[in-house]
Amino acid sequence: MIRLSNYSNIFGNTNSIYNSLAQLNSVRRGTYGKALKAYYAKENTSSTSKSSSSSKSNRYKYSSYSADAGLNEIQTQSGKLVESAAKLTDNSKKGLFTDKDNYDANAAYKAVSEFVSEYNDTLSAVNKTTNTAVTNAANNMTRMTGIMNNSLSKVGVTVGKDGRLSVDEETFKNTDMDKVKSVFGSSGSFARSVSSYSTRLGNAAKTQSLQTANNTGIYGRYGSYNNNYYGTGNYNWWY
């Protein structure tokens, strides 16, 4: 004789059976499928939102890093320095040193003062980055400036201990035009050399900025060390 107390042991838990039958009916009616679709739709929306938020965060970090590196500022400032040097080295009829009889010391002083200001602003921009390629390009320019120190002093331009330039108005305006032209207006002048070095500096800043943006340089787009750099052929001489 089977006791009622052993009924559940033989047929299992009746609640479990009823639950299973209810789920089966739910699947047949399509309710279960609809519930699954609604659940995963919600999950996908949440995932997309997180991805979008992460993307915005990454763009913000990249912008911050670019600003901290100062590469864009260096490109802009080096371009201004090249422009100011072009005014001094202009050999056309409108050039500052073309006609000695009509030499305008005031105009020349204004142009040199602008050049000196742009030179110093370029150094300030370079000080905002630790990018080796850029700082090396700037160091080449400042070394050349140091070599030209004596020539610059003869026309009233002084190279400070920090590498920045200053110009004494009285000394400059009282200097013969030929001396001023040899330093700022001739083909082998200081201004011409600075223009060349500044162009290289701007190109170095542009290259490093693009590598940072494209994550192809030593440092990634967020300023972190790029592990892929040594695996992209940049240093395949190891092999």
Please state, in angstroms and rounded to a whole number, the distance separating the CA atoms of residues 113 and 119: 10
pLDDT for 30: 61
Token representation of residue 45: 């929306």
| pLDDT on residue 100 | 92
Q: What is the mean pLDDT of residues 4-33?
A: 53
Q: Which residues make beta-bridge pairs with 166?
A: 158
Q: What is the pTM of this model?
A: 0.64
Mean pLDDT score across all residues of the chain: 77
Instruction: Please compute the mean of the pLDDT values over residues 34-60 and round it to a whole number.
Output: 55
The residue written with tokens 């400036």 in the block is: 145
pLDDT tens digits, one per residue of 206-236: 999 888 776 655 544 444 445 444 344 343 3
**Whole-number Å distance between alpha carbons of 85 and 28:** 83
- Asked if pLDDT for residue 190 goes beyond 60, the answer is yes
Q: What pLDDT was estimated at residue 230?
A: 39
CB 192 within 8 A of CB 181: no
Which of 17-21, 36-40, 91-95, 192-196 is the least confident region? 17-21
> What is the C-alpha separation between 189 and 209, in angstroms, rounded?
30
For residue 238, give Cα distances in angstroms to 177, 201, 207, 224: 56, 29, 24, 23
Q: Where are the domains of the chain?
A: 14-60, 70-225
Distance CA 19, CA 107 (A): 96
